[in-house]
Chains A and B, each alone.
Chain A
Amino acid sequence: MLDQIVVAPFREMIAAPDFLMQVLWEGIVSGILYALIALGFVLIFRSSRIFNFAQGIMVVFAALTLVGLYELGVPAWLCVLLTLAVMLILALAIERVVLRPLVGQPDVILFMATIGVTLFLVGMGEFVFGGENKVMITEQLGIPTGSWALEPFGGLLILEQKDVAVAVMAALLVVGLLLFLNRTRTGRAIRALGDDSQAALSLGISLHTIWVLVWFIAGIIALVTGIAWGSRAGVSFALEVIAYKALPVLMLGGLESITGAIVGGLLIGVLEKVFDIYWGQPLMGGSTETWFAFVLALIVLLIRPQGLFGEKIIERV
């Protein structure tokens, strides 16, 4: 038994390094998606202390809108623009209808409000676009669909080109976001609002504009995530499940940290794949991916209650 747990998995890894690399690559690709969703969370949390439960649903909603518009016969590039417009309208609506009346309420109330938004978006998405699974318009968006076969260590490693494209897109998005937050006036305003909203307000930074902007950026991230995940698994509300996966990523990385979201996402993506293949399937009957990330994050939190990169929690009476 001990041999099966401690030795056998590693023996297997060394015996088939090409398979291990394949597993790692799959893990990295899903890790990127977790990281992207977590990024949307972090952005909103940093600027407004709102724990945005609706981020996962925004991913589905954006992807559904994109595909739904394409099915109406709109050219693909216009679909992207129109979807962005829809996400902007969504951001405006959420800020005006939901968030503005709730300014200054406790965090928990705002969190619950985003749960309400989630429900509403699920209902509306299914009402408008139907509940069935749709195919993402991968090729029409100019994303390559072939695959490369590499042969490391005399084995076989298959890289899907669209996964590589997703990785590149995600990297560009993160770099762009970091530049925006650190180098532009508006980006600094967003961070200022997160650090001390009272001080930021007294400097003339508009809370409402910034909130709309932040939710719109979260919408853009959601669209990219939706395209990426949709090209792998199709577009449906089953995508909601991956939104839950972003939560342990947040715990692991810390709610405020962009670095944390990326590192946490990749870490969880890789570790849960490796754990499931080498320990979960032979020893526990598989599908450990549903809980592994949560348990891992729980254990990390017991040691560091603010996550790996989160701000230290200081309590005062």
Chain B
Amino acid sequence: MLFRTGGQFKTSYKEDIALFPVRQDAILLGVVLVLAWIVFPLTASEFVFQTLLIPILIYALAALGLNLLIGYTGQFSLGTGAFMGVGAFACYKMVTLMPWMNPIVAVLLSGVFSAGVGVVFGIPSLRIKGFYLAISTLAAQFFLVWIFEKWSWLYNDNLSGAIEVPNLTAFGVVVTAPRADSVMTYYVILAIATLITWLVMNLTRGALGRSWKATRDMDFAAELIGINLMKSKLTAFALSSYIVGVAGALFVFMWRGAAEPALFDIPLSFRILYIVIIGGLGSIMGNYLGAVLIVGLPVILGTVPEALGLEIASARIEQINLMIIGALIVFFLIVEPHGLARLWELIREKLIRWPFPH
């Protein structure tokens, strides 16, 4: 009933390849956008902004970048955290060397640096495949974090060895953490996330996206039908690293306010990986669903026992969290290896047919 597609006729090719051929999908997206752009900013408290809305968007963006690589191109990468670090450090160097620069422009440009680094570390993917490639991306992870620690030029020789975000203004308003208004930073992140998501949505449907998918499904066969593997793999590495780098810059500049090199170590990479797995490989919506779950779960686990009047030490909560996330990953893999996004698709299929099962 709710999702009845009957009666929606396509009379031109253009209509047929529209981003949302089913009207209800477009309406649903509209509702989500209204919620994200208008309802949440008007109603959310400072706590909700800082623990839910902003981190969810940033993690989802990073996961989107990683998903391009793993889910769409089939190139396994475990070095996401380090590439986020490249974005953050590049952004920091730019705004400290060129203080007149608009911080939003700096954030968008910082992705270019991580894209460059990503391509360099993506070159082995032309020869190394599967698990061997996954482990070799760990070389990037450990090597880059080591550089963040040892190369003091990167953090302007701060004694603490960390980068601290200066207060920067864009169009006369402070936009960088920690001084900025949460609503302001939220809108900046939301705008960037919306833009990138829209671009990626169209990109994955186009020629480039299809060559990625062919590479993922069987790179050998893709090569035989004339897909340039080098181009397909390296563009995937570049774009993925660009998005991850932008997410990294946002992570530090719009949320954390400061970052030490260890922040970009392997736990961060894995966190993004969980989001991608739980959300669904090769799905764009999945990144957001996964981020909601991974970011939201600790918050819920942290607040629910308190509301029930139970006293649980925060270390305990952390441990229970790990167990639950671990169990959830296994659970989702068994129930639906394609993640939350696929679960939604199944529900949608059911809704289209409902109330008639056949």
Contacts and interface: CB of A to CB of B under 8 A. Distances in A.
B135 interface: yes
Given A123-B320, A247-B138, A288 B146 contact: yes
B139 A123 contact: no
Interface residues of B, number: 45
Main secondary structure of the interface of B (DSSP, over half): helix
Contact of B319 (A123, A306, A315): A123
Nearest to A296: B139
Contact of B330 (A113, A247, A285, A287): A113
B124 A108 contact: no
Interface in B85-118: none
Contacts of A317: 218, 220-221, 224
Contact of B334 (A101, A291, A301): A101
A200 B138 CA distance: 35
Interface stretch (A1-9, A15-23, A124-132, A149-157): A124-132
B330 A97 contact: yes
A112 B326 CA distance: 10
Given A108-B76, A301-B127, A123 B321 contact: yes
B253 to A, nearest CB: 26
B129 A287 contact: no
Interface string B114-133: 00000000001001111110
Interface of A: 51, 97-98, 101-102, 105-109, 111-113, 115-124, 126-127, 131, 244, 247-248, 250-251, 255, 284-285, 287-288, 290-291, 294-295, 297-298, 301-302, 305-307, 313, 315-317
Given A113-B330, A123-B325, 17 more contacts: A97-B330, A117-B326, A119-B322, A123-B321, A126-B315, A126-B319, A131-B319, A255-B132, A284-B150, A294-B135, A294-B138, A297-B139, A301-B124, A301-B136, A302-B128, A305-B127, A317-B220
21 contacts: A97-B330, A102-B333, A113-B329, A115-B273, A116-B330, A123-B322, A123-B325, A126-B319, A127-B323, A131-B319, A248-B138, A248-B139, A288-B146, A291-B139, A294-B135, A301-B128, A301-B132, A302-B127, A306-B132, A315-B220, A317-B224
